[in-house]
Amino acid sequence: MILEGIVTTTDPDGQAHVAPMGATIDDPRDRPIRHAILRPYRTSRTYANLVRTGEAVFHVSDDVGLFARAAVGRLDRLPKLRPAAAVKGWILADACRWYALRVRRISGPEERAQVEADVVEAGSIRDFLGFNRAMYAVVEGAILASRIGFVPGEQIRAELTRLAVIVEKTGGTRQREAWDFLQRYVREKIGEGK
């Protein structure tokens, strides 16, 4: 299954780079997560950092605002971080769970690499808030916003219109703020449409 989360890697200057990304994992119901497969674009900073350092930290987070801002490259400032122990990397201080990863293999001729990694350390910071439809709508909206230039604008706007109903009905303040940010970003990039 693919678990949506946030990956931190380390830039050449030692600073953290934060990017949302899905990780393919085995269903962890009966056992701890031991491996993950990441699929970064070969042109991304995340990919360059993974190739250079061979290490990352994957986070399970319910902060959809961070997910939305990072997805479109609009982080005003880095979130609160702490250094990881098992890898030279960064842990999001407000994540629910985290997994320190060490790259085992990078493969694939495609535009997106397949990065196979082993979990070398894991931790839990706080409980996951729980399932909320608005959170997932924001995550889907962020993924759509990150596809501007690859997916037709009308298709993006139509899907965002459908997702907006979910955010309006089920979202709290943080989800609505993240949604409003995404709406402004999409209008700035592709306009209002017809």
* Tens of pLDDT, residues 68-110: 999 999 999 999 999 999 999 999 999 999 999 999 999 988 8
What is the Cα–Cα distance from 154 to 136, expressed in whole angstroms? 21
Residue 96 tokens read as: 């629910």
Q: Which residues of the chain does CATH 1.20.58.290 include?
A: 133-190
* Tens of pLDDT, residues 149-159: 999 999 999 99
What is the phi/psi pair of residue 193, to 5°? 90, -160
Check: CATH 1.10.1040.10 for 133-190? Answer: no
The reported pTM is 0.89
What is the Cα–Cα distance from 106 to 143, expressed in whole angstroms? 24
CATH architecture under which domain 2-124 falls: Roll (2.30)
